[in-house]
Chains A and B, each alone.
Chain A
Amino acid sequence: MQSRAGWPVWLSIAAGAVMFVHLYLAFVWSPPEQHMGNLVRIMYFHVPSAWNAFFAFFVTFVCAILYLRRRRLVYDLVSAASAEIGVLFTSITLVTGSLWARPIWNTWWTWDPRLTTTLILWFLYAGYFLLRASIDGRERRARVSAVFAIVAFADVPVIHMSVEWWRSIHPLAVDETGFNMPGSMAATLMFGFVAFMCLYGLFLALRVRQQRQAMELHELREAVRAARVRQEGQV
């Protein structure tokens, strides 16, 4: 029992430590850029949060397909938990992007294809949760939201390709030739991705556990209700 209560604490400490190392790499170890100066360090937060959001929605997409194929509720739980974390990372991506755009592009927001499609992604998954909240019945909710999650994921490749399909002012950190930056900056960026991935893993594990407990809670409520009815029948 003690070990079960302890793993979130140890995982949180490990994720926190990795985040502090990331902070050191982003602020101290990596060099400033020639044109942007220290503002380039925003990239180490903005880009990993965007990549993690896409990864979280990919997990949602895969689990939605698995649910529709196998009809096991655990896939629905993981799918919803991952989507929630994806919305968190997308929110961080949008806010940090805006804070980066202001000094570089002299505007908080512009209707650039990549920005617009990312905002659409945020609305799509906010809609996913509204949809889940509006449907009664565990199986029906899981089925409908799985279909929605699969369709909503179509926006992720559109975001990726948007800078090539339309005229965009959004820079490309990584293209087919690799990283467009020195090795130390690329290493910090990749470490940022790993650090944010640790947080994603921690949040996902906690959220899935909570979803399982919520199911157990529902079953216990039903059992108490049934026991109460049985007792009243005996009196």
Chain B
Amino acid sequence: MLNDMGFLWAVTAVVWLGMLAYAVVLMRRQRRLQQELESLRRALDQFNPPSR
């Protein structure tokens, strides 16, 4: 059974871990998007090579 401070620490953990978990999800999404964008740009460059 949690005592008073136990509930307080649990709340703090929920808030901080919740925010951190969301930040990690955002960072992973960002990395995946960036990788996909770069690979598609490379693919497009192969079809349309830059003219000199």
Residues of A within 8 A of B (CB): 12, 19, 23, 37-39, 41-42, 45-46, 49, 88, 91-92, 95-96, 99-100, 102-103, 199, 203, 206-207, 209-210, 213-214, 216-217, 220-221, 223-224, 227-228, 230-231
Give chain B residues whose Cβ lies under 8 Å from the Cβ of A206. Answer: 26, 30
Chain A residues touching B, majority SS: helix
Give chain B residues whose Cβ lies under 8 Å from the Cβ of A103. Answer: 2, 4, 7
Q: Identify the interface centre among B7, B11, B14: most chain A CB within 10 Å of its CB.
A: B11
- Of B23, B33, B43, which is within 8 A of A213 by CB? B33
**B7-A199 in contact (CB<8A):** no
**B41-A228 in contact (CB<8A):** no
Question: Which A residue's beta carbon lies closest to that of B36?
Answer: A217
Residues of B within 8 A of A (CB): 2, 4-5, 7-8, 10-12, 14-16, 18-19, 22-23, 26, 29-30, 33-34, 36-37, 40-41, 43-44, 47-48
**B12-A91 in contact (CB<8A):** no
**A224-B44 in contact (CB<8A):** yes
With A96-B11, A96-B15, A224-B47 already in contact, the answer to whether A217 and B4 are too (CB < 8 A) is: no
**B44-A223 in contact (CB<8A):** yes
Closest 8 CB pairs of A and B: A227-B47, A220-B40, A96-B11, A213-B33, A45-B15, A42-B11, A99-B11, A224-B43
Least distance between A36 CB and chain B CB atoms (Å): 8
- Of A46, A88, A210, which is within 8 A of B30 by CB? A210
**Given the complex of chains A and B, what is the CA–CA distance between A156 and B44 in angstroms?**
47
Q: Identify the interface centre among A96, A99, A223: most chain B CB within 10 Å of its CB.
A: A99
- Of A12, A49, A203, which is within 8 A of B15 by CB? A49
- Of B15, B18, B37, which is within 8 A of A220 by CB? B37
**Given the complex of chains A and B, what is the CA–CA distance between A194 and B26 in angstroms?**
22
**Given the complex of chains A and B, what is the CA–CA distance between A214 and B48 in angstroms?**
22
Give chain A residues whose Cβ lies under 8 Å from the Cβ of B22. Answer: 88, 203
**A227-B48 in contact (CB<8A):** yes
- Of B33, B43, B44, which is within 8 A of A210 by CB? B33
